[in-house]
Structure formats: structure tokens, C-alpha cells
Amino acid sequence: MTGLRSADPRSIGLVVAVAGLALIALVEVWQPVVGSGLYDGVVPEEPYRVLNPASDQAGSPSSAQVTLDASSGISPAIVLVTTEQPPQAQLIATPGAISLAPGSSTLTASVTPVEPSSEEAAAATIYGNIYRYSVVDQAGNALNLASGARPTVVLRAPFGAPAVAIAHWDGNGWQPLPTGTGALPTILTAPVTALGDYALVPAGGGLTLPTVTGLAVLALGVLGVLLLWWRRPRRATDANTPARPPAPAGRNRRGQRRRGGDRT
Amino acid sequence: MSCKQVMLLCLGVALAVAGCGPANGPTPPPSVLAGSIGPRPSSPATLTVVQPQDGAVINGPTVHVVFDLQNATITTSTTTHIQPDLGHIHLYVDNVLVSMNYQTQDDITLTPGAHTLKGEFVASDHVPFDPRVWSNQVVFSVQ
């Protein structure tokens, strides 16, 4: 122990560090860590697929369609899911959500990404694709939601999108709906009362996250300038203000003794 | 850096190495390893959503979820040394993975509207069996 105590602490540390590295190498040789790491259950989001992708975007968004038996007279549960991971668009409806026409034997529900009309494109900034939800019977006749039915539209927001809400195109404009967040921050849900076109538009009356962030940065900048202006050294520019007498030797302007001020 | 700091650093490295080692016994054969490096084992487990029931209308936002797991046991350990009848449940809501459950019951919070729910029994390394052990999917409403 005497030798250890007298040894240089840095040398001891170096020895321990080398021993640790040797231990790592020994364990790796003895029982190598093989295979892939443990899957932690969190599925990474694949890039959002857009209908008309730019050079740095993924394209070919999927559609979904399902044909179901409706001969009982009550529409069955509908679960429409696009194939992206996580899905970019879904429709979830409990039984009875669709108003069936007399004689309906089957219904076909579909969700498809569509090009925006000129009116839709001009009405709001749209994040991601517009998805068209429709349900038709075996003859191709369009079916509507039953009175009081509130199926759920689920849309995934593109990564980096600001605060957005699910909106329905009512023929005149995008009507934002009360939108909740799903399992992931980018998964948005809204109960709906009609089929048709749905998309993500800025939430909160156009105050998007970048706008709010920009305003906050601007406010902080203005505050910083004001603080700098307030804290800047005041100069004796006023003719009525007597000039400050010089500080005595060995003291600074506040009258404090300088370090080493006695040394001459 | 002082001697104590160096020693603590080395101790931390040693503990990290110990944590990286296999948890249970020898390294499993490549045929049962996780990911894309080999085939996955099958499992005798069956998983059923007991609650909520299909078509149920629930006063939210809290939804009580109950699974029935047969022919398998839930284990909290995470290891690559997997067994067909040991694992845990991955819970999916609206076709998105919500949580990993080490019990057969859970409370989740959902927004109003229609939702889907299903579970998957996965191995102790969090990777699915082959074939995958899915539960039934239920569609229900939250008010």
C-alpha cells in the first residue's frame, strides 16, 4: 500500500484505464455481442410520401380500399389504412356509420391522395396530401354518413410541419376540425360528419409554429437591444454635469483598491 | 482529471460492458437472433382483446384495455435468448404502436371518436414471432 500511495495518481489512473479497455476486449472475445441490437419497439417513421414530390421528397403515396358485406342492412365497421409506416391516412368507423340505400349488398370504402383543385390550393397552405374519402354501394352510387355518425379521420403530418389541424373541404373553403393527437405527435385524429376531401392546414388561425417562433425570436432580439442600450456606459456629455475626478492612485473608478496597487 | 475521476470513469466503462453482455446464458444460435439476420421462431401463444369489446361506446378519455393471453407467459426481461412462450404485448391504437405492456391490462387515454385497438405478442427481444401473434382487432368509439 505504501507503494500505491506513493505512486503518481495519474499513473494509477492510466493503469486502471488500460485495465478497463483490456476488460472490454476480453469480454468481446469471450462472448462477443452478436446480431443486431435489441428492437425497442419504436418504429421509425418512414418519410412522408407526397403526390408530386420534389427532388428531396418521397413519392407514390398509397391508397386504400375495402369492400364489405352490407346485406344485413347495417354498414359494418370500416377500417381503411394506407400502407405507409405509420399510415398517412385512415378512416375508422363503427358499425352503422354509413347510411345504406335500400337494396345495398356491399359497400366499398376508399381513401385516395388527390391533386388539389385550384380552389383548394388557393384556400390555405396544405401540409401533406389531400385525401379523398368515399363510400359507394355495389352499383357505384355514393353513400353518405348516417345521421349522428362520427367516424374518425386519421392523417399523419409530414415531419417538420407546423401546428396543423385536420380540415374538411366544404366546397367553399377548408374548415378546420377539432383535432387530437394520436399515438405519435404526427398522428392527428378528428371525428368527422361527412366524407370528401381532408387535409392538414395551419392550426390556430394561421399562427403557425414558425410564425410564433419567429415572433418570439424577434421579441427576444428587441429585448436584447433594449438591455444593451440601457446597460451601456453613460458618457458625461451634459455640460452641466461636472467631470468625474480622476481616481486616486491604486484605486479604480469605483474607489476599490486595485490588485497589486500598493506595488510601485 | 483527478485519479478519482479516472477510476470512476473506468468503473463506469466496466459496468457498461457488463450491461452489454448476454443477459441469460450463452449466446443464442443465429436462427433465433433478432432482426434481419435469421428466421424467427413460432409461438404457441394466442392473444385476444377482451376489453373494450368490438363496437363498444366508451365514456372517455380513459379506456381500460384487457387482453387474454393463452399458452404463453409475460416476462419483463429483455434478452436475445428468447423462448416461444415468453414475451410481452405490444399495443396498437389506430394502427400505430402505442406501448409495450408487461401485463395483460392497461389504461390508455384516447381522443373522442372511433378507434381501433389490437395487440401483438412479441418475444423477449421485442421482435415479433413468425408467424406473428396478433390479437383480434376491435373498433370502438370514445365519447
Instruction: List per-block mean pLDDT (blocks of 10 residues) for chain A, which spans 264 residues.
Output: 66 88 82 50 80 92 97 94 95 96 93 96 95 96 95 94 94 95 88 97 65 71 83 59 54 50 39
Task: Give A180's contacts in chain B (Cβ within 8 Å).
Answer: 111-113
Taking the C-alpha atoms of residue B123 and residue B133, their distance in angstroms, rounded to an integer, is: 10
Of A34, A40, A81, the CB nearest to B33: A34
Instruction: Indicate the number of domains in chain A.
Output: 1
Identify the three-state secondary structure at position A14: helix
Asked if B118 and B92 touch (Cβ cutoff 8 Å), the reply is: yes
The per-residue pLDDT for B2 is: 58
Task: Report strand pairing: A144-145 vs A98-99.
Answer: antiparallel
SS3 content of chain A, % helix, strand, coil (to 5): 20, 25, 50
Task: Provide CB contacts within 8 A for B109, sequence distance 6+.
Answer: B60, B61, B62, B63
Q: Between chain A and chain B, how many beta carbons pairs sit less than 8 Å apart?
A: 140
The per-residue pLDDT for B18 is: 42
Residue type, A148: G
List the domains of chain B with CATH numbers.
3-142 (2.60.40.10)
Identify the three-state secondary structure at position A197: strand
Taking alpha carbons only, the member of A251, A244, A164, A252 closest to residue A202 is A164
Read off the C-alpha cell for A118.
385550384
Domain assignment of residue A16, yes or no: no
B31 at A interface, C-beta within 8 A: no
Question: Which pTM was predicted?
Answer: 0.67
Model ipTM over 0.85:
no
Task: State the CB neighbour count (10 A cutoff) for residue A79.
Answer: 19
Domain assignment of residue A229, yes or no: no
Taking the C-alpha atoms of residue A63 and residue A132, their distance in angstroms, rounded to an integer, is: 10
Radius of gyration of chain A (CA): 34
Residue-averaged pLDDT of chain B: 79
Range of the domain at A163: 64-202
Domain assignment of residue A101, yes or no: yes
Task: Provide CB contacts within 8 A for B132, sequence distance 6+.
Answer: B120
CATH code, domain carrying A125: 2.60.220.50
Task: Give A21's contacts in chain B (Cβ within 8 Å).
Answer: 13
